[in-house]
Structure 1
Amino acid sequence: MWRVPFGTLFGSLLVRLPVIGTAVLFLASLVFLVAYAEGGMLAIAVPALLGLVRAVIAPLVMYANFTVAMSPDGVRLRYGLLETRMQTLPPGRVQAISIVEPAIWRGLGWARVEVTVAGYAGERQALSSTLLPVAPRQVAMHLVSQVFPGTHIDAVPLVPASSKAMTMDRADGAGTDDVVFVTRHGWPCRRTDVIAHARAQSVRLTTNPLQRLLGLATVHVDAPPGPVQVAAADRDLGEARAIVESTARRAQVARRSSGDPTHWAAR
């Protein structure tokens, strides 16, 4: 379905704000070290260099030659520069998906796809959390539609969060269709989190002290533990309760139609 070019992977790792900031810090410390013979700059230069190795070289070695393919037995992944890894994610094991678009990537039309896989934990979950390290956004969206058949994420209407919200992780919106529940949030790194109704384990409403003061709440649609957590933040309380009820109904219908008798809860 898609093979990640080495140059695209390398470039995507370089043009991230934390990497750019660390590189500037490293170069500045080297300039001070050379210009003023200030040995104390090594205390900045060495950790910055190690940070760059961890942020760029390590994922470059891990995800080089990355290939994703669809097959009857699931999503097949193959990747690795020094050691080739092969993995198949069976149908139905992917519980939730996140499309990650850092600020600079959005200008280049790139996205990353992360997943929560049922039955995986610890190191195995970490190694399986990246479904696609970088690709054109339309490729990422097509992959999501293959994992959750019958849905088109960009076609799901998203309702903006309340204008009363006061948060750094700005919530752009949340919405649903007959197949999935979608939330979008984040600045400068935008995340679009997606969970199929048939995969939801529960839906719950929470409020923190500031939200209670403003009459707001957050709706969580729970999947098994993993890197993707789907939550519609900063909704008006009445709207949040309506989302809980409608999502509960859709999830129950989806589970019945799929023949899954697993108990499902709304709270």
Structure 2
Amino acid sequence: MVVPEIPVTRSIVAAALTGPTAATMLAVLVSVATPAGLALLLPAVAGLGPWIWGLLNRSWRFTATSDNHLLGITFGFSERRRQTVPLDRIHAAQISQPLLWRMLDWWKVDVDIAGYGEPGKGGATTAVLPVGPLDQALALAAHLGPVDRGEVDALMRPDGVPDGAGSTGGVRVYRSPASARWVSPLDRTRQGVILVGGDGDASTDRALVCHRGRWRRSVSVIDPVHVQELSHRRGPLRRMLGLSTVRFDLVPGPVRMVGRDLPAEEAVELLTRLRQRALPTGRSR
């Protein structure tokens, strides 16, 4: 059992502490306080109600088991659903925390699954931990991803790139420099990219980790072999500041990965190294 059954009370509280739920409650308060309140309430309920219900339904008595390279997921309130995912089809994992969950230190883990497309397609879920404590989220990321638990604890804490992490041994670290404060004043110290696994040949790199976000913290991990495309972006302002952004395109899903506002020369180095990564048979660089 990689995720024991999530308590019902946790699912209810987690659904209540989300932005859409807060917006719906605000609409209810406004509807009571103003003459035109009903006109504001109906669109809010019609638009956000199904989303909130879906969020609650996908975490209701959620469990996950792992056996024979398969991840088995069970969840649902109105209808119990069972979903089986081959572990080798899980390309990327992301640990994130909505702002209002911070007071309870709850986190969620989403994954990109090859062939699934966007979240919610066909009633399937891409959340392998809808809500849980950080230790549980980190343990699940280690189970599903290309890094072991020790590396997860050292490099994937969601509060930003570890201060002690440097480009030594099998780890290469790319951080936003001080000049990035002009374009990323809040996120600069939280965002960065870590490559794990190779000193020399880029084909030995086995994990790409991206940190980002101060208000909505997240950390994502993927085996570089699963990165679909790479792009290098540098607008006029960032060019003046000596900054560049490297974007990593993945299979369709909830995980987003980007190396934002890196020193221009380090962004080129990262891009060049990843272009030399090992690729699945049948794909060219």
TMscore range, shorter length:
0.7 to 0.9
- 1:152-206 deviation digits (Å, cap 9, x = unpaired): 3341246431332314783522212123111111242112121112322343322
Q: 1:175·1:183 contact (CA, 8 Å) conserved in 2?
A: yes
1:160 equivalenced with 2:175 (yes/no): yes
Name the structure with the higher helix share: 1
Percent of residue pairs identical: 26
1:79 equivalenced with 2:81 (yes/no): no
1:215 equivalenced with 2:242 (yes/no): yes
1:170 equivalenced with 2:191 (yes/no): no
Partner amino acid, structure 2, of 1:10? I
User: SS at the partner of 1:155?
Assistant: helix
Q: 1:217·1:236 contact (CA, 8 Å) conserved in 2?
A: yes
Matches of 2:186 and 2:283, distance apart in 1 = 32
TM-score normalized with structure 2 length: 0.79
Matches of 1:208 and 1:25, distance apart in 2 = 39
Bigger mean CA deviation after superposition, 233-242 or 203-212:
203-212
- 1:203-262 deviation digits (Å, cap 9, x = unpaired): 33222333223221111233222221211110111010111233344x32xx5xxxx424
Q: 2:20·2:48 contact (CA, 8 Å) conserved in 1?
A: no
Partner amino acid, structure 2, of 1:175? I
Matches of 2:229 and 2:41, distance apart in 1 = 47
Q: 2:146·2:207 contact (CA, 8 Å) conserved in 1?
A: no
1:96 equivalenced with 2:96 (yes/no): no
Matches of 2:125 and 2:186, distance apart in 1 = 26
Q: 1:197·1:247 contact (CA, 8 Å) conserved in 2?
A: yes
Q: Which residue does 1:133 correspond to in 2?
A: 130
Q: Which residue does 1:29 correspond to in 2?
A: 31
How far has the Cα of 1:125 moved from its partner?
7.7
Supply the RMSD in Å over aligned alpha carbons.
2.4
Bigger mean CA deviation after superposition, 63-72 or 200-209:
200-209
How far has the Cα of 1:52 moved from its partner?
5.0
Partner amino acid, structure 1, of 2:75? Y
Flag the 1:125–1:223 CA change in 2: closer, same or farther, 3 A.
farther
Q: 2:244·2:264 contact (CA, 8 Å) conserved in 1?
A: yes
How far has the Cα of 1:27 moved from its partner?
1.4
Flag the 1:174–1:24 CA change in 2: closer, same or farther, 3 A.
same
1:190 equivalenced with 2:217 (yes/no): yes
Bigger mean CA deviation after superposition, 206-215 or 98-107:
206-215
How far has the Cα of 1:55 moved from its partner?
4.0
Q: 1:115·1:129 contact (CA, 8 Å) conserved in 2?
A: yes
Partner amino acid, structure 1, of 2:81? R
User: SS at the partner of 2:124?
Assistant: helix
Matches of 1:117 and 1:21, distance apart in 2 = 30
Q: Which of the residues 186, 207, 216 maps onto 1:180? A: 207
Matches of 2:222 and 2:132, distance apart in 1 = 21
Flag the 1:230–1:21 CA change in 2: closer, same or farther, 3 A.
same
- 1:77-125 deviation digits (Å, cap 9, x = unpaired): 1111111111111021011111111223233121111111112235538
Matches of 2:112 and 2:186, distance apart in 1 = 21
Q: 1:68·1:77 contact (CA, 8 Å) conserved in 2?
A: yes
Q: 1:22·1:51 contact (CA, 8 Å) conserved in 2?
A: no
1:225 equivalenced with 2:240 (yes/no): no
- 1:7-65 deviation digits (Å, cap 9, x = unpaired): 11111111224422431332132133xxxxx2x22111222333552343332134311
Matches of 2:186 and 2:37, distance apart in 1 = 34
Query: How many aligned residue pairs are there?
Result: 252
User: SS at the partner of 1:164?
Assistant: helix
Partner amino acid, structure 2, of 1:57? W
Q: Which residue does 1:13 correspond to in 2?
A: 15
TM-score normalized with structure 1 length: 0.84
